[in-house]
Amino acid sequence: MKALVTGATGFIGGALAERLIAQGTRVRVLARDPEPATGLRDAGAEIITGDVTDRGSCAGAAGGMDAVFHCAGVLGGWGIPDSLLWKVNFEGTRNMLEAGRNAGVKRFMHVSSCGIFGPLREGETAGDDRPYNPTNAYEKAKAEAEKLALSYAKEGMPVVVVRPEFVYGPGDMHLLPLFQSIRQGRFVFFGGGRSMLHPTYIDDVVDALLLAAGNERACGKAFNIAGERPVAVKEFIGCMARAMGVPAPALSVPVPFATAAGFLLDHTWGLLAKPPLTLAQARYLSENRAFTCKGAADVLGYSPKVGLAEGMKRSVAWYRGKGLLK
C-alpha cells in the first residue's frame, strides 16, 4: 500500500507515519517544512514540500496514492487567529478531499475531533451520533470539516472519520507546560478538579486509524476514539504528579474566579505576551468531556490498550529522555 500522511511533522500524524513505515507501507509525507520530517525521510518516507491550504500541493501529493491519512490541523490556543483555524482545518480538508477524489484513492481517513460536540453536562457522555455543538473557532472549523468529509462519503468516496479525544503520550508538546507546572508546584485546580476529561494514549489512536483504514464497513461512518474511561481532572493531574514522583497539587479556586481571571488576563497581559492563564484554558479544565466508543468497538474492534498510569509513565520517560522535564 502507498499512503499519504498529512500533518506527519505533528503529534498524531508523526506517530502514524512511523507505524506505517514500520509495517512496510510506502509512506509519502506532505510537509510545509521538510526539516522536521528528516527522521521520517531517513526511515524511508518520501517527503513532498507543500501545504494543505494550497490545492496544487494537495493534488501533487495525492497522485498515485492508495490511501490518504489527513492528520494535518491547527489546534486552538493563545495567539492563533480564527482565520488560520478555518484556513487549515476546513479549507485544507476541502483541498485534500478534492485531491483524494481526483486521484481515486481507495481510502480517505479524516482525523476530526470529539471537540465538535462541545462541553457536556455533568454526568453526560457523548456517543458517535451526538449532534454537533461546537463552542469555539477550533471546534467550529473541525465540525464543518467533518460534515464536508461525510458529504464526500455520501457521494461515494471511501471516507472514514476518526475523532480522537485529548490525545497524549510521547511526542506530544502541548501537555508539556502542564507537566512542568505540576513539577514546579504551580498548578491550581478549578472547582476542586471535579470536571471530567477523557485522555487517550497516542498508540491507541494509531491503532484505531489503522483498524478503520482496513475495514470496508467503516466507510461513510464517524467514530469516537477515546481512552479506557473518562477521569476527573483531579485524578488526571494526580496521575501526572505520581508519574513524576512529586506531590499532587492541592490548591483550588472557584470556577467563576478562574474564568474571570482568564478573561481579564487575555485582555491585559495577553495583549503583549501569552498570559499565565487564558480563558480557553480555564474553560477546558472546568468543562466536562466524556465519550463512548461503541461504534469503534462494534465495527472496528477498537479497544484501548494503554491505561492512564502506564501512559503517564511512558510520557514522563520520553520528556525526561529529551531533557524537557526533570
List, for residues 142-196, the tens digit of each pLDDT value: 999 999 999 999 999 999 999 999 999 999 999 999 999 999 999 999 999 999 9
Q: Which three cell numbers stand for residue 23?
A: 509495517
The H or E element containing residue 58 is helix 55-62
Q: Is the pLDDT of residue 271 over 80?
A: no
Over 90: is that where the pLDDT of 76 sits?
A: no
pLDDT digits (tens, 9 = 90+) for 81-138: 999 999 999 999 999 999 999 999 999 999 999 999 999 999 999 999 999 999 999 9
d(C-alpha 47, C-alpha 23), whole Å: 18
> Taking 90 as the threshold, does the pLDDT of residue 267 lie above it?
no
For residue 317, the model assigns a pLDDT of: 98
Task: Give the pLDDT of residue 312.
Answer: 98
Residue 154 is predicted with a pLDDT of: 97
Where does the pLDDT of residue 6 fall: very low under 50, low under 70, confident under 90, or very high at 90 and above? very high
The backbone torsions φ and ψ at residue 218, rounded to the nearest 5 degrees and listed phi first, read: -80, -20
Q: pLDDT for 272-315, tens place per residue?
A: 788 888 888 888 889 999 999 999 999 999 999 999 999 999 99
In CATH terms, the fold of domain 2-170+198-228+290-305 is Rossmann fold (3.40.50)
Percent of the chain with pLDDT over 90: 88
Grid cell 494514549 — which residue? 201
Nearest to 199 by CA among 285, 325, 110, 83: 285
* pLDDT tier for residue 269 given thresholds of 50, 70 and 90: confident
Mean pLDDT of the chain: 95
Mean pLDDT of 66-78: 93
Q: Considering the entire predicted model, what is its pTM?
A: 0.95
The C-alpha cell that represents 212 in the structure block = 478503520
Residue 209 and residue 112 in contact, taking contact as beta carbons nearer than 8 Å:
no
Question: Which residues is 1 bridged to in the sheet?
Answer: none
Residues 263-279: what's their mean pLDDT?
Answer: 81
4 and 67 in contact (C-beta within 8 Å)? yes
Q: Nearest to residue 197, comparing CAs of 283, 98, 90, 133? A: 283
Q: How many CB atoms lie within 10 A of CB 272?
A: 7
Report the distance separating Cα 14 and Cα 202, nearest Å: 10
Residue appearing with cell numbers 512529586:
246
Radius of gyration of the CA atoms of the chain, in A? 19
Asked if pLDDT for residue 257 goes beyond 90, the answer is no
Neighbours of 55 (CB within 10 A): 15
What is the per-residue pLDDT for 86?
Answer: 97
Sequence-distant (6+) residues with CB within 8 A of 255 are: 190, 191, 282, 286
CA–CA separation, 65 and 59 (whole Å): 11
For 148, residues 6+ apart whose C-beta sits below 8 A from its C-beta are 90, 93, 94, 97
Q: Say if residue 200's pLDDT is above 80.
A: yes
- Three-class DSSP labels, 152-207: HHHCCCCEEEEEECCEECCCCCCCHHHHHHHHCCCCCEEHHHCCEECCEEHHHHHH
